[in-house]
């Protein structure tokens, strides 16, 4: 079965970039992208993604609240928190993020890393 990946970011440009990166790393993956915390929780309940790329600064719900809710799912996904604030990196990891990506992101490095982690966390 192919991987299922959820991308939650309110910035359309970043979201499109992340979708392209995931599709390049794993063309067979089922990718769903949303722009809000509520939408990400709804999709996660329904689609059960194996990996979530989660922006910290969502417009409706704080990314940390989304992270907490996702980690409480029976089959919690692998969550990569994305933020432009280096001060939030440690807190995100302490709250349960599996890893943190800081903006601006190193595209070649992200692409290589996605190719490594997505096969290991397939749904």
Range of the domain at 102: 4-120
> 28-65 burial, b for 16+ CB within 10 Å, e for fewer?
ebbbbbbbbbebbbebbeeeebbbbbbbbebeebebbe
Give me the pLDDT at residue 120, please: 57
CATH number at residue 17: 3.40.50.2300
**pTM for the complete prediction?**
0.91
DSSP assignment letter at 77: P
Q: Could you list the pLDDT tens digit for every one of the 123 residues in the chain?
A: 457 899 999 999 999 999 999 998 888 889 999 999 999 999 999 999 999 999 999 999 999 999 999 999 988 999 999 999 999 999 999 999 999 999 888 888 888 888 888 765 544
Q: In the chain, which ranges are continuous DSSP H helix?
A: 12-25, 37-47, 63-71, 89-94, 107-120
Give me the pLDDT at residue 1, please: 40
Backbone phi and psi for residue 103, each to the nearest 5 degrees, phi listed first: -85, 145
CB-neighbour burial class of residue 80 (10 A; exposed 0-12, middle 13-18, buried 19+) = buried
Give me the pLDDT at residue 108, please: 86
> Which token pair is 83?
């933020």
Give me the number of domains the chain comprises: 1
């Amino acid at each position: 079965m192919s991987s299922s990946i959820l991308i939650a970011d309110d910035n359309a440009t970043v979201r499109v970039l992340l979708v392209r990166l995931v599709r390049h790393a794993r063309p067979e993956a089922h990718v769903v992208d949303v722009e809000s915390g509520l939408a990400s929780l709804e999709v996660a309940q329904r689609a059960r993604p194996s990996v979530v790329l989660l922006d910290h600064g969502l417009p409706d719900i704080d990314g940390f609240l989304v992270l907490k809710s996702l980690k409480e799912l029976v089959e919690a996904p692998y969550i990569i928190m994305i933020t432009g604030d280096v001060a939030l990196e440690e807190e995100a990891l302490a709250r349960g993020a599996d890893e943190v990506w800081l903006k601006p992101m190193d595209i070649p490095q992200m692409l290589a890393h996605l190719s490594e982690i997505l096969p290991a966390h397939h749904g």
